[in-house]
């Protein structure tokens, strides 16, 4: 596609459940980022992939959060044992991976944990 896509657009789940959020980056982009945006706040960095490997996962809040990018394209953010505090918009972005390359964002997935 022409831009970054994310599915689902919205996800409602019960506390304690497991969820997966998917990101399809722009074709050819080697770098992929996940951010979390709580209501009324700016996005906060979670994890950054360069190719298949996580180059920086310092933003993941705890071990319930995990992300993969097995073939260097699509990425999945996985959240185990969801908590109400996980409710937020999860944004994905991709870039060429070159220094100075612009990050292009997807429309995000709004996660609501009830």
Partner 1 sequence: AQTVTQSQPEMSVQEAETVTLSCTYDTSESDYYLFWYKQPPSRQMILVIRQEAYKQQNATENRFSVNFQKAAKSFSLKISDSQLGDAAMYFCAYRSAGSNDYKLSFGAGTTVTVRA
Share of the chain residues as helix, strand and coil, in percent rounded to the nearest 5? 5, 50, 50
Residue 89 sits in the site that holds partner 1 (CB under 8 A): yes
Handedness of CA 16, 89, 23, 49 (dihedral sign): negative
**Site stretch for partner 1 (CB under 8 A), options 13-21, 41-49, 66-74, 75-83:** 41-49
Which residue in the set 21, 31, 77, 79 belongs to the binding site for partner 1 (CB under 8 A)?
A: 31
Min dist. Cβ of residue 16 to partner 1 (A): 26
> Rounded distance, CA 93 to CA 24, Å?
9
Residue 41 sits in the site that holds partner 1 (CB under 8 A): yes
């Amino acid at each position: 596609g022409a831009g970054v896509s994310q599915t689902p657009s919205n996800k409602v789940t019960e506390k304690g459940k497991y969820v997966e959020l998917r990101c399809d980056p722009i074709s050819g982009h080697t770098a992929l980022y996940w951010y979390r945006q709580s209501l009324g706040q700016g996005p906060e960095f979670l994890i950054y992939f360069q190719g298949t490997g996580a180059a920086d996962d310092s933003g993941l809040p705890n071990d319930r959060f995990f992300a993969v990018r097995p073939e260097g394209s699509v990425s999945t953010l996985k959240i185990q044992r969801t908590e109400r505090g996980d409710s937020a918009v999860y944004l994905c972005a991709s870039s060429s991976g070159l220094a100075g390359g612009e990050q292009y964002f997807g429309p995000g997935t709004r996660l609501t944990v009830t």
